[in-house]
Structure 1
Amino acid sequence: MKADRVDHFINLSLKNLQTEYIDLYLVHWPFGMNYRGDENVAPKKDDGDLDLDLTTDLLAVWKAMERQVDAGKTKAIGISNFNSEQIERIMKMARIKPANLQVELHAYFQQNELRQTCKKYGITVTAYGPLGSPGRDARQRYIPPLMEDKLVTSLASKYNKTPSQVLLRYLTQLEITVIPKSSNLERMSQNLNIFDFELTPDELEEIRKLDKGEDGRSFREFPSAKIHPEYPFPF
């Protein structure tokens, strides 16, 4: 998250991937940490808190990202975990607009305002945690398991699908890219098998009503970063 380090880290990614270019390169967080000369992207101080760089300049970083497209190192550039206000600032100066925004997004946390901002600028949206991140209550706070929601399970029964397939189909019907995380081969196969059924408009509306707003957010990574001026989430 320093403009003069963007070139170094994309070169490192190219080396690790053993490829000449990247299809899509994202700014993972809008706030930065102090670079210590190693490749640790989340360095911590002795007290365990992040070693934050409070001088993060998003606009300078974005200009450096654009130069990677010019150099042919990436075909497209995007952002992750940015809020609407930060996107608006980027768009006011961007020569190359963000192609994609990657954020937590699922039926309990649908990010409607943020999605509208992206739609306005033609930015595609990718949902991480699209199944509600089972086990997340062990991280920060308890939220009812999304895949056990009565509506979701009833729709799964109706279509002879799993709850996860229903949740992924909902998002894809809203033209949201989904990236569920699994190391289980059977579930990975299930996650791909979601295009042989379609939820009705009424069913889409029912799932839309499951949205809990900020109460549905489960990822509040790096709570010590709240002091950073570019911390993207409500406190």
Structure 2
Amino acid sequence: MTSAPLKKLNDGTQIPQLGLGVFQMDDDEAHRATLAAFEAGYRHVDTAAIYRNEVGVGRAIAESGLARDEIFVTTKLWNKAQGRDNAREGITRSLEKLGLDHVDLYLIHWPCPAAGTYVETWEQMIDFRSEGLTRSIGVSNFLPEHLDTILDETGITPSVNQIELHPTFQPDDLLNHCSDLGVVIESWSPLGQASDLEHPEILRIAEATGATPAQVIIRWHLGRGFVTIPKSTNPERIRANFEALNVTLNSEQMEAIDGISAGNRIGPDPATVEP
């Protein structure tokens, strides 16, 4: 069976570059989608406390028949659980819902700079890693100034920054900053919530390669070295997304997709998100 390439993080852990995202699924949908993903060959699933489907993901892991060390599990600490007093309760609750004694990657979901708690939260994340509650720690939706602040305050660099990233939204300043720091980029909304599937360049490349537009975009993410977590509840689409691993894009096609960035942000601005 085809397997996703592994990306080495700055702490030595390896993360499968292609995973399943379960945003906006309920427990039952997440359960079914995760099982379908495991059957298709995925070994990486990305959830979050705020998704309220960690129980469903955990059920799928338990029923999969796969050894724990074969599966890479990511979850995220929600904004209201930030802070020295709340973060431990947050990870404890997530582990209980997942039915696990540790996750592979734990992320701060948003910086929420107005709250002023992301640095002390990061200090707690460092402790969680030391205690074996998570193998790796990272952040989500952090801008360069947030990354610099936690690095200056703690000396510990995140392994991952999970950000909105798709062909028509490529925040180059942030991508370059993460590269300079040795932080792996993980793309959420990698297809632009399907809006990028109809872009003329994507359609042209799909026709030339015989791949679907979604497969072209996923292959572009992988070719750029990003970790990516396309979401679907449809088993056929879950399989088709995984088959992007078998698609080849040449340098001209990769550069063409690089060139269609248009600032089309879909999600909130990390600078202004509140708890």
* TM above 0.5: yes
* 1:176 aligns to 2:226 (yes or no): yes
Return 5+ residue gaps in structure 1 as ranges: 33-53, 135-144
What is residue 16 of structure 1 aligned with on the other side?
Answer: 97
2: CA distance between counterparts of 1:120 and 1:110? 16
What is residue 121 of structure 1 aligned with on the other side?
Answer: 181
SS at match of 1:101: strand
Deviation at 1:14, TM superposition (A): 1.1
* 1:6 aligns to 2:87 (yes or no): yes
Contact 2:151 2:157 in 1 (8 A): yes
Give the counterpart of 1:220 among 268, 271, 274: 268
Contact 1:4 1:64 in 2 (8 A): no
Deviation at 1:55, TM superposition (A): 3.7
2: CA distance between counterparts of 1:199 and 1:227? 36
1: CA distance between counterparts of 2:175 and 2:256? 19
Q: Work out which of the two has the higher radius of gyration on C-alpha atoms and give 1 or 2.
A: 1
Deviation at 1:68, TM superposition (A): 0.6
Give the counterpart of 1:75 among 126, 131, 135: 135
Contact 1:128 1:178 in 2 (8 A): yes
2: CA distance between counterparts of 1:76 and 1:189? 27
The alpha-carbon distance between structure 1 residues 94 and 218, as it changes in their structure 2 partners (threshold 3 A), is: same
Cα deviation, 1:99-125, whole Å, max 9, x if unaligned, reads: 101111000001211111111111111
- Report the residue type matching 1:69 in the other structure: R
Deviation at 1:81, TM superposition (A): 0.9
2: CA distance between counterparts of 1:191 and 1:90? 35
2: CA distance between counterparts of 1:221 and 1:204? 27
TM-score (norm 2): 0.67
- Report the residue type matching 1:155 in the other structure: I
1: CA distance between counterparts of 2:246 and 2:273? 47
Contact 1:66 1:95 in 2 (8 A): no
2: CA distance between counterparts of 1:221 and 1:227? 6
SS at match of 1:2: coil
1: CA distance between counterparts of 2:230 and 2:115? 33
Would you identify which runs of 4 or more consecutive aligned residues in structure 1 move more than 6 Å?
Answer: none
Deviation at 1:10, TM superposition (A): 0.6
Contact 2:110 2:273 in 1 (8 A): no
The alpha-carbon distance between structure 1 residues 194 and 111, as it changes in their structure 2 partners (threshold 3 A), is: same
Deviation at 1:175, TM superposition (A): 0.4
What is residue 191 of structure 2 aligned with on the other side?
Answer: 131
Give the counterpart of 1:94 among 151, 154, 164: 154
Contact 2:216 2:247 in 1 (8 A): no
What is residue 29 of structure 1 aligned with on the other side?
Answer: 110
Contact 2:215 2:247 in 1 (8 A): no
Contact 1:103 1:126 in 2 (8 A): yes
Contact 1:108 1:210 in 2 (8 A): yes
Contact 1:129 1:180 in 2 (8 A): yes
Give the counterpart of 1:108 among 168, 178, 181: 168
SS at match of 2:244: coil
What is residue 74 of structure 2 aligned with on the other side?
Answer: none
Give the counterpart of 2:240 among 190, 195, 210: 190
What does 1:159-170 correspond to in 2, within 5 Å? 159-170=209-220
Contact 2:165 2:190 in 1 (8 A): yes
Give the counterpart of 1:158 among 178, 186, 208: 208
2: CA distance between counterparts of 1:108 and 1:55? 30
Deviation at 1:227, TM superposition (A): 8.0
Deviation at 1:95, TM superposition (A): 4.1
Contact 1:151 1:207 in 2 (8 A): yes
What is residue 199 of structure 1 aligned with on the other side?
Answer: 249
The alpha-carbon distance between structure 1 residues 227 and 12, as it changes in their structure 2 partners (threshold 3 A), is: closer
Deviation at 1:221, TM superposition (A): 7.0
Cα deviation, 1:25-65, whole Å, max 9, x if unaligned, reads: 00001118xxxxxxxxxxxxxxxxxxxxx543221111111
Contact 2:166 2:189 in 1 (8 A): yes
